[in-house]
Amino acid sequence: MNVLEAIQNRREVTNFQDKKIPEETLEKVLEAAFLSPSGNHLPSREFILTVKRETMDQLVHTTPFVPWLREAAAAIVVTGRPEISKYWLQDASIACGFIWLSAVEQGLGAAFGAVYHSEDPNESKKRESFVRKQLLILDDRRIVAIMGLGYPKGEPKPKKLLSRNEIIRYDHF
């Protein structure tokens, strides 16, 4: 599968089969995260993989928007390091996209659970503190997202997109 095919096939998958993901498949997804770009090649983002059912069942309580972690076969928590780079959020976000597209290439479904909340510092602190405690994450890291992974249960519905004319402009707005 080429990159454009992975982009076209990408869906938010929130219903997963009860099926373990092989270690070599997860390592390929982690390799995509590792290879994702970062500003000035600084180590501004880090990744924590868990396949432990009890851990994912605890992470469900991070925010009401991640109930799909109960069915996910794996989760990757993406952290950022503001002390390393002012581009930590962009770098971690790009890495999430690489994780998602690599998951699609591997035949997996993925769901994105935002932990960091840019518009509500109190909510962000609550969510990040919860994940930090569960995974023993150092205080200097920000928790950007939880990516849930698994084999999709059923075929995801086609994406409903806006017209290209509403999104893409040439030469001027």
Entry pTM: 0.94
pLDDT digits (tens, 9 = 90+) for 118-157: 999 999 999 999 999 999 999 999 999 999 999 999 888 8
CB contact at 8 A, 46 and 145 = no
Domain contains 159 = no
> 136: alpha, beta or left, given left = phi > 0 and alpha = psi -120 to 50?
left
Domain contains 172 = no
Domain contains 167 = no
Long-range contacts of 160-164 (CB under 8 A, 24+ apart): none
pLDDT digits (tens, 9 = 90+) for 38-86: 999 999 999 999 999 999 999 999 999 999 999 999 999 999 999 999 9
9 has pLDDT over 90: no
Domain count, the chain: 1
Domain contains 165 = no
Containing domain of residue 95, as a range? 3-154
Res 39: pLDDT:
94
CATH label of the domain that carries residue 36: 3.40.109.10
168 has pLDDT over 90: yes
CA dihedral (86, 61, 113, 103) positive or negative: positive
108 has pLDDT over 90: yes
